[in-house]
Amino acid sequence: GYIYNYFDEKVSLTVSNCTVKYTPSTAQYLKIEIESDAEKPIILKSVELLTHKSTPPEKEDHAFDATIQKDEKTNSTILTLDTGSEKGVYSEGIIFNSTSANFNRLVEVSMSNDNKSWMPITYGYIFNLNLPRFKGINMQISYPEIRYRYIKAQIYHENNEPIDISPQISLKISTKTLVFNYDPTNMYTLYYGNDIALATSYDLSRFIQYIDDPNLPKGFLTDNKSNQMYVAPTPIPKPITEQYSQLLNIILIVLVVGFAVFIVWYMKKLQK
């Protein structure tokens, strides 16, 4: 990186940037080399090492009941989960429950919004081992946060006997936080659900990473209520070709037939 410190005596202007950023590291020693002119060496008075501590977002496990199917061709168990939300639910992991032991199975996770077209999201392994030289369990498959309504997990048993799997599975969901300046004497209302609402931009979003105070006041939401004052925008009218597609087809057919009749009549007239 580059550091600089420029001073203009004429206008008494100082421009300085003496910070070099790099990817996080856990190394014990840090060596800094600064290239400088031999005639005008740079004099350093001190060096500070800056660290930033951030708290990962809290996650909650939400239980759902899935349907279970057996696929004899692939010797696999398919669990299909409906979150019940038309627009889907943000999730970043799925947790299984099983009473079986000593297994290690491949799991394919797919997602869909119509329960017909499925998109593979990730692959992973779940296992529960209780052996003399190793004991461990992992019943969770993680993936980047994504939003879908239907989630399908296919557990491949290969040439093994199918494991006992519970239809109750859990989704790993990150807790969302809304941070804003507030007046404790006011009551605030949270509006949501408008798909065409414009995204907002505030200064707070540019330095929210420096606000990591666990003692910030917290508020709680009451029951959901429909906004009686909301007026849905007027839908954009469809093009006339879509509104009257059948009528336009009929008109086109009549024109073609009429033109053909005219050609036949004209040709007969020329032959006379």
SS (H, E, C) 198-260: CCCCCCHHHHHHHCCCCCCCCCCCCCCCCCCCCCCCCCCCCCHHHHCHHHHHHHHHHHHHHHH
Indicate whether 270 pLDDT > 80: no
What pLDDT is attached to residue 262? Answer: 84
Give the pairing of strands 103-112 and 89-95: unpaired
Least confidently predicted of 92-101, 130-139, 199-208, 236-245: 236-245
272 pLDDT band (50/70/90 cuts)?
low
* Cβ atoms of residues 154 and 77 within 8 Å: yes
pLDDT at 203 over 90: no
Asked if the model's pLDDT at residue 238 lies above 80, the reply is no
Q: Tell me the residue length of the chain.
A: 272
Q: Mapping DSSP to helix (H, G, I), strand (E, B) and coil, where does residue 171 land?
A: strand
- Residue 172 CA to residue 170 CA, distance in Å, equals 7
Q: How far apart are CA 16 and CA 5, in angstroms?
A: 4
**What's the CA angle centered on 251, arms 247 and 254, to 5 degrees?**
140
Torsion angle defined by CA atoms of residues 251, 253, 254 and 258, in that order, rounded to the nearest 10 degrees = 140
pLDDT at 244 over 80: no
Given a contact cutoff of 8 angstroms between Cβ atoms, the answer to whether 66 and 152 are in contact is: no
Mean pLDDT, the chain, integer: 85
SS3 of the chain: helix, strand, coil, percent, to 5: 15, 30, 55
List C-alpha distances in Å: 169 to 63, 124, 142: 6, 16, 13
pLDDT digits (tens, 9 = 90+) for 20-61: 888 877 778 888 888 877 677 787 788 888 776 655 666 788
pLDDT of residue 28: 80
- Residue 248 binned pLDDT confidence (cut-offs 50, 70, 90): confident
Contact criterion met (CB below 8 Å) for 167 and 67: yes
**Cα–Cα distance measured from residue 265 to residue 243, given in angstroms and rounded to the nearest whole number:** 35
| 236 DSSP β-pair partners | none
Q: Torsion angle, CA of 135/110/93/124, rounded to 10 degrees?
A: 30
126: phi then psi, degrees, rounded to nearest 5: -115, 145
Average pLDDT value for residue range 156-184: 89
Structure tokens, 46: 């001190």
Once rounded to an integer, what is the mean pLDDT over residues 58-83? 93
Q: Give residue 101's Cα distance to chain centre.
A: 33
Q: In the chain, what percentage of residues exceed pLDDT 70?
A: 95
- Maximum mean pLDDT: which of 1-15, 81-95, 181-195, 211-225: 81-95
pLDDT class for 193, splitting at 50, 70, 90?
confident
